[in-house]
Amino acid sequence: MTATYYQLPNSLDIQFFLHNQDKRKEGFMKIKKKVKLISLIFTLIAYFASPVLCAEESISEDQARKIANNFIKIEKQNFPSWMNVSIKALYNIYSSNGYIVGYEISVHDKGGNDRGYIIVSSDKNKTIIPSFSENGLSISGSLFRYYENDLKQLFESLNLTTKEMRILGNLPFHFAIGIKFQELDYIDNANFIVQDGWFIFSPNPNSHQALYKKNYKRNYRKLSLTPSSKENRDFYNALINGDENSKFFKKISSGKINNIKKIGSKSRMSSPINEGTIDDGTVDESSKLFSNIYQENREWTKGGVKSDKMCYAGCGPVAWAILLEYWDRNGYPNLISSKTDNSNRFTTDPDIRWSINELRGYLETTCSDDGGATTWPWDIDQGDEYIKARGYKSNVYSNTLEPGFWQIIEDINANRPPIALFDLDDGGVVDIPDHYVVVYAYEDKSGTANDRFKAKNGWQITTDSWYSRETITLFGAGITSLIITSSPSSPPKPYFDGAGSLVDPQNKDNSNDCGCKLDYVKLHSHKDKASAGFFQVFRIPGVCESISLNGLDSASIEVRSWTGRGNNSKYYSIHGNSTIPLLSKSIWNLVAFKTNQPIKKGTSKIVAAVCRGDNNSDVTEVSGNPMILNSEYHWGGNGSIINHSNNQFNSDTQAGYGRNRDTAVLLKSNKTLSVFQVTNTQSCRKVKFSTRLPFNLSWKTWNEKDWQGSKKINNEDTFIFPTSDYWWILKAEAPASSSDKARIDVVCEH
């Protein structure tokens, strides 16, 4: 469904055009028939009988206010700007057809300064807090300012009187003023956007053309809760009860962009802080690393332009401009303007305008009839061509398959701000992409209902917001991350070529035997890809409580239990030989590493892991994210077994694992990569696989760089070693499982 456009009758010849703030003096309307001016009072008027959800599923104003108060109370430890604040006002947010879709609660401090806002949904089954900001002007404040500065004088000059006015919203980020005029009850045609009788006005270019109609036809009393909606209900209960001990407030990891070391005197100062923000030491320093570049409505010469060449810049080129201006100030001063011009932080700067115009051409951004602009997801990574034209080599990658929160985590932890494209998750119907932003921070909590990330919106007033991971779908190109050659950012996702889970029937309790107390992984060069390897370690107090990793120059480490499926992972960053502590509460520990730089072309590297009987580690825990391999597979957990006792003294439930058989878990909702390392001996000439989920099997010897072959494994199947080589690595790549109990079993056969 799209917005409706009308043309006014010929007797009312209205031409409508509004520029953004720096051009608002040029905004005009021409009208031949004057209408008597009635004094305008800005009020938010609700229908007497606005349609709502059934009571047991909806959130009331009082409940929304309580949710906001408790959210501030619990989260203020993370946000210093909320230490002494209170609720300023609450406004209903409507759909164009009269539903209350949520509430905006504005926040201020004791001095009356704006301290952000909190959006609360009206539906307990949906994301409870889809968006918020801990500082700056609220959504309602930005709309009121827009009305006072742009609309009020315009309406008065046209003798137009507002009959009804309200805030319209398509959560989490589209908001507008909906107006019904006293003098225009009946309209046949129009030049501007009208939905369900409401004239749509917004200071944000994308929001004036968003769809604000909602359709609630489901019977919520009979709705069986999905896992997502059940978690949202649980989060609602935690907020209503002010339960600060709830899992939703327990942080697993967090990260934000840190200013990388600036190179030479040509590096620039940090960007100005957000409009309406009080810089009293509580402003997020990461926010100040990015300039508040926004969309201008002006004449463009590149991209798809209208006959009059006038339209908004488009959020795609603006997102790229924000990202490139950041890198321009951090070591690459030719990305914006010249190396000697160090003052290009503002939207109206001629060099910023020139760059946005050029980006419009590379991204094929097209002006629309309503004055907006569209950049399609399959073109967003063409910003790479702009970078090349400015004299730099770069590696820009887009995730078109499965973009998501995990990739935001990976990019932020690598100090690599990504561009994310949002598509509103409105009942599961994807229409067109909605908005590009630059992400610079995240917080990963237990569960998913309170996971969130922070982004530069590319808007003139509300410049920064936190968004819930559950509210939006990352669509199409999803995330584009910039890696400029020789920049200090991390390499792309690693390629797996290390050892696998050891199955060695002839292994004995000898500290010199590989797979007993020590093991090795051989890494190879794969062009610009990093390398990854695994070890699976049997923890025994006093015998093997930590692992010495030798042979790595710089790497990221993940340690987790075999049964944890990544929920209890700990992360470390190492530079050189290091000792990694094992999880004290887990018998089977899984240790994975990925190099921070590709292996040098034409060379290989051997990494050794050796058991230590103490837990005297020399590493510090850091924030991290689950291992992603070969661009799309999540690490299933199996790795090269280091088992000092080799299971000879374990109970029957453990006997044989790591000797003549092993098993690997498959992940629910994610593709899984698991590996087995097997010795080709007289008692193990072939291996039998058992699985409920078909997977693709690849094989190679321990020394080889490339995989020899592959085959599909269904249910039960047998693999016979093709040569007499001793050490073999078997890689299993499985699709996402619908169960958390799926696994792959492998057993040696004669």
pLDDT at 147 over 60: yes
- Give domain 250-490's CATH number out of 3.90.70, 2.30.170, 3.40.210, 2.60.40: 3.90.70
pLDDT at 411 over 80: yes
CB atoms within 10 A of CB 48: 5
Cα–Cα distance between 125 and 123 in angstroms, integer? 5
Helix (H) or strand (E) holding 191: strand 189-195
Q: Which residues of 152-163 are buried (b: 16+ CB within 10 A; e: fewer)?
A: eebbeebebbbe
Q: Name the residue with higher pLDDT: 634 or 99.
A: 99
Distant-in-sequence, close-in-space partners of 193: CB < 8 Å, separation ≥ 6: 3, 4, 5, 199, 200, 208, 209, 370
Q: What letter represents residue 35's amino acid?
A: V
Q: At what angle do helices 315-328 and 350-363 cross, to 10 degrees?
A: 120
Cα–Cα distance between 160 and 154 in angstroms, integer? 9
User: What's the pLDDT score for residue 124?
Assistant: 92
Percentage, residues of the chain above pLDDT 90: 27
Q: What is the pLDDT of residues 581-637, one digit of tens each?
A: 998 887 888 888 888 767 877 888 889 888 888 888 878 787 777 777 766 676 666
Average pLDDT, the chain: 76
- Residue from 699, 523, 532 nearest 601 by CA: 523
pLDDT at 263 over 80: no
Q: How confident is the model at residue 317 (pLDDT cuts 50, 70, 90)?
A: very high
DSSP helix/strand/coil, 151 = helix
Mean pLDDT of 284-295: 78
Q: What is the pLDDT of residues 543-589, one digit of tens each?
A: 888 999 998 877 888 898 876 655 678 888 787 788 999 988 878 88
Q: What is the pLDDT of residues 157-207, one digit of tens each?
A: 888 888 899 999 988 888 999 999 887 654 444 456 888 989 999 988 878
User: What's the pLDDT score for residue 424?
Assistant: 63
pLDDT at 717 over 60: yes
Q: Hey, which of 116-130, 327-341, 661-675, 694-708 has the most confident mean pLDDT?
A: 116-130
User: What's the pLDDT score for residue 706?
Assistant: 87
130 near 172, Cβ under 8 Å? yes
User: Which of 229-238, 331-340, 382-391, 438-447 shows the lowest mean pLDDT across its residues?
Assistant: 331-340
Which DSSP string corresponds to 418-446? EEEEEEE-BTTB--S--EEEEEEEEEEES
User: What's the pLDDT score for residue 296?
Assistant: 93
User: What's the pLDDT score for residue 462?
Assistant: 79
Query: HSE of 21 in the Cβ direction (CA atoms, 13 Å)?
Result: 17
Q: What is the pLDDT of residues 1-30, one digit of tens each?
A: 333 332 222 222 222 323 333 332 333 233
User: What's the pLDDT score for residue 456?
Assistant: 92
Q: How confident is the model at residue 398 (pLDDT cuts 50, 70, 90)?
A: low
pTM of the predicted structure, to 2 decimals: 0.59
User: What's the pLDDT score for residue 662?
Assistant: 84
Cα–Cα distance between 286 and 440 in angstroms, integer? 7
User: What's the pLDDT score for residue 432?
Assistant: 54
pLDDT at 85 over 70: yes
408 near 439, Cβ under 8 Å? yes
User: What's the pLDDT score for residue 294?
Assistant: 92
Q: What are phi and psi of 646, to 5 degrees?
A: 50, 30
User: What's the pLDDT score for residue 418?
Assistant: 87
Domain ranges of the chain: 1-248, 250-490, 495-660+696-709
pLDDT at 536 over 80: yes
Q: Which residues does residue 615 pair with via DSSP β-bridges, in sequence order?
A: none
User: What's the pLDDT score for residue 565?
Assistant: 58
User: What's the pLDDT score for residue 40?
Assistant: 33
pLDDT at 111 over 50: yes
Q: Which residues does residue 184 pair with via DSSP β-bridges, in sequence order?
A: none
User: What's the pLDDT score for residue 267?
Assistant: 37
User: What's the pLDDT score for residue 343?
Assistant: 62
